[in-house]
């Protein structure tokens, strides 16, 4: 195979191994010749050649399977995304399929193809392209979510669980994965596990409320009390009444209203 062999390096390595002048720290000065002879009997040169060729073949295959996405493929993908956001699904699909033929390992591309087929009511093709996505990128969590939703809709509960488990191993706090696995456990009548998973997913809502809290502080600092109040109320909705931060949010809301009393119309 062209480009694999490096004869000079190989010959030097074989010479070093077989040379009777190779240093041997645990042997007598005259034992080099005996060791060289024994190495020749073991046919080390042939083994070395085979090992080098195998190693280079593995490297070649790895490079072939991990070709970089071309600029042309990326441009087509971004154009397809634009069409997708504009609800031009047929135009988007045509570009994505053209991309898929040129770069089948482009996981973002094949994932979006699956979504379009799903919205076009073609679950067989959607499943095919999401499974293809996971073949090339097992860490594509969104593909696992959509595939699990499809399986749940089709009452393929075991397959939904199988596709979700690796996703939770990758992202154990993802609220969508937790909810989907909760649905799986509920279908299995494992209500205790379902409740635990649903409660874990609710913790994410509390984290989301941090954005509204920060916005409320910013708006209040500029004297925009009405907008600050809206964000605090939104934070309360996200966090829930049972959240540990709810008392502080209620106190902040009361303080905001006290400092900015509503104007009484004349």
Give residue-wise pLDDT tens across range 11-66.
333 333 333 344 443 444 444 444 444 434 444 445 455 444 545 543 444 344 44
**What pLDDT shows up at residue 261?**
79
As a whole number of angstroms, the longest Cα–Cα distance in the chain is: 115
Domains within the chain, CATH numbers bracketed: 1-26+35-58 (no CATH), 71-204 (1.25.40.10), 208-259 (no CATH)
- Residues 131, 203: Cα–Cα separation, whole Å: 30
Q: What is the per-residue pLDDT across 155-176, written as a single tens digit (0 to 9) for each? A: 999 999 999 999 999 999 899 9
What token pair was written down for 50?
């085979």
pLDDT at 83 over 70: yes
- Residues 201, 212: Cα–Cα separation, whole Å: 19
- Residues 14, 29: Cα–Cα separation, whole Å: 21
As to burial, measured by CB atoms within 10 angstroms (0-12 exposed, 13-18 middle, 19+ buried), residue 21 is: exposed
Residue with more model confidence, 8 or 209: 209
Q: What is the per-residue pLDDT across 85-133, written as a single tens digit (0 to 9) for each? A: 999 999 999 999 999 999 999 999 999 999 999 999 999 999 999 999 9
When pLDDT is cut at 50, 70 and 90, the band that residue 238 belongs to is confident
Non-local CB neighbours of 256 within 8 Å, separated by 6+ positions: 216, 220, 225, 228, 229, 232
Q: How many CA atoms lie within 13 A of 111 on its CB side?
A: 19
| DSSP one-letter string for the chain | -TTT--HHHHHHHHHHHH-TTS--TTS-TTHHHHHHHHHHHTTHHHHHHHHHHHHHHHHHHHHHHTPPPPHHHHHHHHHHHHHHHTT-HHHHHHHHHHHHHH-TT-HHHHHHHHHHHHHTT-HHHHHHHHHHHHHH-TT-HHHHHHHHHHHHHTT-HHHHHHHHHHHHHH-TT-HHHHHHHHHHHHHTT-HHHHHHHHHHHHHHHHHHHHHHHHHHHHHHHTT-HHHHHHHHHHHHHHH-TTSTTHHHHHHHHHHHHHHSPPPPP-
């Amino acid at each position: 195979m062209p480009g694999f062999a490096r004869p000079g390096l190989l010959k030097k390595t074989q010479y070093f191994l077989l040379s009777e002048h190779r240093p041997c720290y645990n042997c007598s000065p005259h034992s080099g010749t005996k060791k060289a002879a024994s190495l020749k009997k073991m046919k080390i040169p042939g083994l070395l050649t085979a090992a080098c060729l195998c190693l280079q073949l593995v490297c070649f295959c790895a490079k072939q399977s991990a070709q970089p996405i071309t600029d042309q493929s990326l441009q087509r993908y971004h154009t397809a995304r634009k069409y997708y956001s504009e609800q031009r699904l047929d135009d988007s699909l045509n570009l994505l399929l053209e991309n898929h033929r040129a770069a089948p390992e482009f996981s973002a591309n094949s994932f979006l193809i699956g979504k379009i087929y799903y919205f076009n009511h073609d679950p067989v093709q959607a499943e095919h392209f999401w499974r293809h996505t996971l073949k090339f990128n097992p860490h594509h969590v969104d593909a696992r979510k959509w595939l699990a939703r499809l399986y749940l809709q089709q009452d393929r509960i075991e397959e939904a669980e199988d596709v979700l488990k690796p996703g939770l191993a990758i992202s154990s706090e993802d609220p969508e994965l937790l909810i989907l696995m909760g649905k799986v456990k509920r279908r299995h009548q494992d209500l205790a596990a379902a409740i635990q998973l649903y409660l874990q997913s609710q913790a994410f809502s509390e984290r989301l409320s941090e954005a509204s809290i920060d916005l409320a502080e910013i708006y209040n600092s500029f004297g925009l009390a009405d907008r600050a109040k809206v964000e605090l109320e939104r934070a309360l909705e996200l966090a829930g009444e049972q959240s540990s931060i709810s008392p502080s949010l209620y106190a902040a809301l009361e303080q905001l209203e006290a400092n900015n009393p509503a104007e009484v119309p004349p």
